[in-house]
Homo-oligomer: A and B are copies of this chain.
């Protein structure tokens, strides 16, 4: 069936009430009966929930064949915990038919790729897919398609009962012996644990894994002891040098700075740029650089932001420290400066993924967002964006909060160079739709600005401000004239991933790549 972004979704996937994507507000206002965990009542006396080993914790929580386990990835490439736990489940306990519900899968989970190839991990649900896991999935090694969800789609699916987590294994910088856990005060600090606390509330069992045990009570905490079954203390939960995201860099590339400046100019030209506006940037170089140009504009206009949302970098913390941002609402910290800032500034607040972006709760913060500035791997002439598949069709990206903030914000601006290497970024049809074009308002490239024709109001604003803009088709043509039209990718029939829209409908599918280096 053809969906609202023109993708043909195989009928056999439309089971168990699953529908194709039908537009951004399709399910607004509907009622949903929330799911809930099956939990074990505490036993008295509760002196401690410490388990000597991860295996002991797994056994206490009833780890079994076929179970779904989850973990969060706010330690990013520095995370040791997911791999450590998975090794115990597979190699010590010999479990099989495992289902993974991750906030992301990347190089820190390379070992999962082995277990997928060996048929031990049989299903996965995630936002990001990178590294060897992406290659193995794209090579069709899993029997069932992986489900790719946005940051808001994950808590929605959990609350809808579409993902049921048997055991959540949650890495924490510190914990007390009853499981009050947070992202601060240890050898490995991740700051916000906004990816983790929703799991703790909805999983049947929760295990906290830390390398720094602190006295009871470890408060205020991101995870409450009432949701924790067991606490494990290990030598190291991660590598502090790899916690910061590689993408969070301050650019000095003049082309990127020029794009950032143009994004700021677009923002200033629109009516939402007024005292108390709200703002989010992605973590790419040009996106982050928008912060510094915005500062100049805010100073000139004598206004400040009400709140900055989402993943947080030191750049936005610095803006807050200068008085330009009232609140930072923080789901994850991209660098150690931001992680430390969370605990030193009372207006820098941790929020969880449901508060951030869940389309099915009573109103997430993305719905109050004025501007979001995001990057893209590809954007097509219908303004559809791809941030999941590379130019070779292999899974190597993450929707993250992209579809959520694009859908929720009043003005979504994509900033991207027209070409990357030999690839056109602006194209006729993205390989995979991860954010529907109806949610994308403006495209800023190094070769010009295009506005989505559905936003005539923004077109008028730019015209009035004397900001030049062109059609997105002309940008695509320019891109093709520079690097040529991309070759069509060749696919097998097999669907290896379902890209789920934030409301749970199917936005697109990713098929097995052909030929593929991992093929036997």
Give chain A's interface residues, CB within 8 Å of chain B: 24-25, 27-47, 49, 178-179, 206, 215-217, 219-220, 224-229, 276, 306-307, 327, 329, 346-347, 349, 354-355, 358-365, 367-368, 407-408, 410
Contacts and interface: CB of A to CB of B under 8 A. Distances in A.
24 contacts: A25-B43, A28-B43, A30-B41, A32-B38, A33-B36, A34-B38, A34-B39, A36-B36, A40-B362, A41-B359, A41-B361, A41-B362, A42-B363, A42-B364, A46-B363, A206-B362, A217-B307, A217-B365, A219-B327, A219-B347, A220-B346, A225-B362, A225-B363, A226-B362
Contacts of A30: 40-41
A310 to B, nearest CB: 14
A355 to B, nearest CB: 5
B41 A226 contact: no
Contacts of A363: 42, 46, 49, 178-179, 225-226, 228
B44 A229 contact: no
Given A42-B361, A408-B44, A226 B28 contact: no
A216 B44 contact: no
Nearest to A363: B42
Contact of A361 (B39, B45, B355): B39
A367 to B, nearest CB: 4
Contacts of A35: 36
Identical chains in the assembly: 2
A328 B516 CA distance: 60
Contacts of A355: 224-226
Contacts of A27: 41
A405 to B, nearest CB: 13
Contacts of A49: 363
A361 B40 CA distance: 7
Nearest to A24: B44
Contacts of A307: 216-217
A227 B362 CA distance: 6
A201 to B, nearest CB: 9
B362 A229 contact: yes
Contacts of A215: 276, 306
A31 B43 CA distance: 11
A226 B354 contact: yes
Contacts of A28: 41-44
A304 to B, nearest CB: 12
B306 A42 contact: no
Contact of A31 (B40, B225, B226): B40
Contacts of A229: 362
A58 B206 CA distance: 37
A186 to B, nearest CB: 19
A265 to B, nearest CB: 25
Contacts of A217: 306-307, 327, 329, 349, 365
Given A44-B25, A226-B358, A220 B349 contact: yes
A37 B220 CA distance: 26
A31 B42 contact: no
Contacts of A346: 220
A97 to B, nearest CB: 22
Given A35-B36, A41-B360, 11 more contacts: A31-B38, A33-B37, A34-B36, A36-B36, A39-B362, A45-B367, A216-B368, A217-B307, A219-B347, A225-B355, A229-B362
B226 A46 contact: no
A33 B38 contact: yes
Contacts of A178: 363, 368
A225 B41 CA distance: 29
